[in-house]
Amino acid sequence: MAVAPATPIIPQSDRLLDMGVRLALVIGVSFVAQRLLFFLVGRVEKWLVSAGHGSVHAEQRAHTLGQISRYVCTVLVAAIAVIRGLAILGWDVKPLIAGVGIVGVALGFGAQTLVRDMIAGIFILVEDQYAVGDLIEVGAKAATVEAITLRSTTLRDFNGYLHFVPNGEMRVVVNRSRGWHRLAVDVPIAADEDLGRALAICRRIAAAFSADPEWKERMLEPAQVWGIETFSGTEATIRLVVRSLPGPDAPEAARTLRQRVHEALRAEGVRFTVIAISAPAKAPIEGAGTA
């Protein structure tokens, strides 16, 4: 009985050389393809910044989308290169591709949370809900966005703690880095004071503050005195407001305006709380309490 010749484990030298050349070609083409895709992503980033007139938000959005796009391009190019390399080495990649499809369907059913997070990440990026560098509020806690992927968002809070939040959990997000900010400056005044005089003093200080060159350019509109916000038996609250672009301008303006109003009211003798006057002690009744 004739015995079939054994298949050599190591291919012949000429075939081995051919496989090496083809593998090197696949690696080279993959590298060039990745560089070309990265170049196109860079051009799109520049276009997004130009379309946003070079604003900080446009740069942040372009950086975020570019980061995600480069990651996706690298994964796709690497996957294609690996499949092509296995085919060159003699593997039958058709069952492998079919198996990957079956595994993908199984993961779709078994990893619904992961799929949900990735879909939510796509909508976050497409709708431009927030970008890297934005200050957002999630669950009544403020934090800065440090990174965004299709699966999760990385946040750093005021204390420096790093939070990794799945995108599917980002249900209600307050973005503090878009549009404009308005902050209230509430000034308590004793209820028995002349509120009309107190309002006039606040309006004078607000007008002087708005005309100050140091603050005029940092606010979107002059500081306003809205009037008496609350009133109780002991005090009334006068509300002033400042409005500026997102960032430190509004908080710093509110602090400075609060200090100036406080100093002006004190200089004018306006009290902030009602001074409690104790009732005079009653004279003891003659003969009471004596043995």
Tell me: domain 127-175, CATH 2.60.34.10, correct? Answer: no
State the Cα–Cα distance between residues 200 and 190, nearest whole angstrom. 15
Upper half-sphere CA count for residue 135 (Cβ side, 13 Å): 12
CATH architecture of 14-110: Orthogonal Bundle (1.10)
Q: What is the pLDDT of residues 114-143, one digit of tens each?
A: 778 888 888 888 888 888 888 999 988 899
Distance CA 78, CA 89 (A): 16
Distance CA 92, CA 98 (A): 11
Greater model confidence, 140 or 175? 175
Residue of 74 and 287 predicted with greater confidence: 74
Could you give the CA distance from residue 114 to residue 145 in angstroms, rounded to a whole number? 21
pLDDT (tens digit per residue) in 222-265: 999 999 998 887 889 999 999 998 888 889 999 999 999 999 99
273: CB partners within 8 A, 6+ apart: 188, 190, 234, 235
Residue type present at position 112: Q
Question: What are the tens digits of pLDDT across the range 180-190?
Answer: 889 999 999 99
The first and second tokens of residue 24, run together, are: 């090197």
Instruction: Quickly tell me which residue has 């002349």 as its tokens.
Output: 194
- C-beta separation of 243 from 219 below 8 A: yes
Tell me how far apart the alpha carbons of residues 252 and 174 are, in angstroms, rounded to a whole number: 21
Q: What is the pLDDT of residue 279?
A: 45
Least Cα distance to 186 among 226, 245, 246 occurs for 226
Going by DSSP bridges, is the β-strand pair 235-244/224-231 parallel, antiparallel, or unpaired?
antiparallel
Q: Where are the domains of the chain?
A: 14-110, 127-175, 181-267
Angle subtended at Cα 47 by Cα 44 and Cα 50, rounded to the nearest 5 degrees: 155
Report the SS3 class of residue 286. coil
Asked if pLDDT for residue 52 goes beyond 60, the answer is: yes
Question: What pLDDT does 106 receive?
Answer: 58
Q: CA angle, corner 290, sides to 285 and 291, nearest 5?
A: 155
User: Does residue 109 surpass a pLDDT of 80?
Assistant: no
Question: Under a CB-based contact definition with an 8 Å cutoff, are residues 93 and 19 in contact?
Answer: no
- Which of 167, 184, 158 is CA-nearest to residue 238? 184
User: Alpha-carbon distance 193 to 186, whole Å?
Assistant: 16
Alpha-carbon dihedral sign for residues 247, 249, 255, 261: negative
Confidence of residue 290 (pLDDT cuts 50, 70, 90): very low
Q: What is the mean pLDDT of the chain?
A: 82
Q: What is the CATH number of domain 181-267?
A: 3.30.70.100
Report the C-alpha gap between 173 and 127 in whole angstroms: 13
**Given this model, what pLDDT does residue 111 score?**
65
- The CA distance from 236 to 199, in Å, is 11
CA dist., res. 265 & res. 236, Å (int):
14
